[in-house]
Every structure is written in structure tokens, then in C-alpha cells.
């Protein structure tokens, strides 16, 4: 799997921005088939930083209703990546 295919997008919620500033952790939406070692290699090679830990969570799709029709959004995977102290990732400079 290509490094760019592993990381789909950053998650820029209020909680993820707070942990980025205080604990040097970055949150990404990743490919559901990617593993922790693949995520670590992708972040290290794309952003030139040293990753100390990777935590992942598989999240189920939420129920979505429109009028009388209902269905589920797709399941997705989230990764929280801890970076070595003193290093930073510029979230606006993501490769495509």
C-alpha cells in the first residue's frame, strides 16, 4: 500500500487540536485496512518526523435518516499518532 493511500485526511476537531498542542498527538482518518506499522511508516516518511506511538480505533457508521429512508454511513478507522517531543506536523501542508 502506498503511503498516501494509508492517510486519508487529518481530523481537526476541537479535541484533536487540543491534544496536538498539549500532548504532541495528531489524529488522522486512515484506510480501514491499514495496520499500525503501515501508519507509522507513512507518517514518518511523509512528514519527516519520529513517531513514538500509534493508537487506532475502528468506528462504526452512524444511522442516517432522510425522511422515511434510513441507512448507515460507512465504517471508518481513526489513528492517533504520537510524535517525538520537539517535532511538529504542519497539518495544512498535507501531500495529495
Domain ranges of the chain: 3-83
Per-residue pLDDT of 14-66, as tens digits, reads: 999 898 888 999 999 999 999 999 999 999 999 999 999 999 999 999 999 99
| Residue 93 pLDDT | 66
d(CA 92, CA 95) in angstroms, rounded, equals 9
- Cell 498535507 belongs to 94
Candidate CATH numbers 3.30.420.40, 3.40.50.720, 3.30.70.2740, 3.30.70.330; the one for domain 3-83:
3.30.70.330
Which pLDDT band holds residue 90 (cuts at 50, 70, 90)? confident
d(CA 18, CA 9) in angstroms, rounded, equals 18
Going 51 to 12 to 6 to 57, the CA torsion angle's sign is positive
pLDDT reading at 94 higher than 70: no
- 52 neighbors 82 (Cβ within 8 angstroms): yes
Of 14 and 1, the structure prediction assigns the larger pLDDT to: 14
Q: Please state whether the predicted TM-score (pTM) of the whole model is above 0.75.
A: yes
Amino acid at each position: 500500500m502506498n503511503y498516501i493511500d494509508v492517510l486519508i485526511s487529518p481530523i481537526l476537531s476541537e479535541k484533536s487540536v487540543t491534544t496536538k498542542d498539549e500532548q504532541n498527538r495528531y489524529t488522522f482518518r486512515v484506510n480501514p485496512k491499514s495496520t499500525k506499522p503501515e501508519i507509522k511508516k507513512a507518517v514518518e516518511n511523509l512528514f519527516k518526523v519520529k513517531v513514538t506511538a500509534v493508537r487506532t480505533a475502528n468506528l462504526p457508521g452512524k444511522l442516517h435518516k432522510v425522511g422515511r429512508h434510513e441507512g448507515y454511513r460507512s465504517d471508518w478507522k481513526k489513528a492517533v499518532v504520537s510524535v517525538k517531543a520537539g517535532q511538529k506536523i504542519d497539518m495544512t501542508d498535507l501531500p495529495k
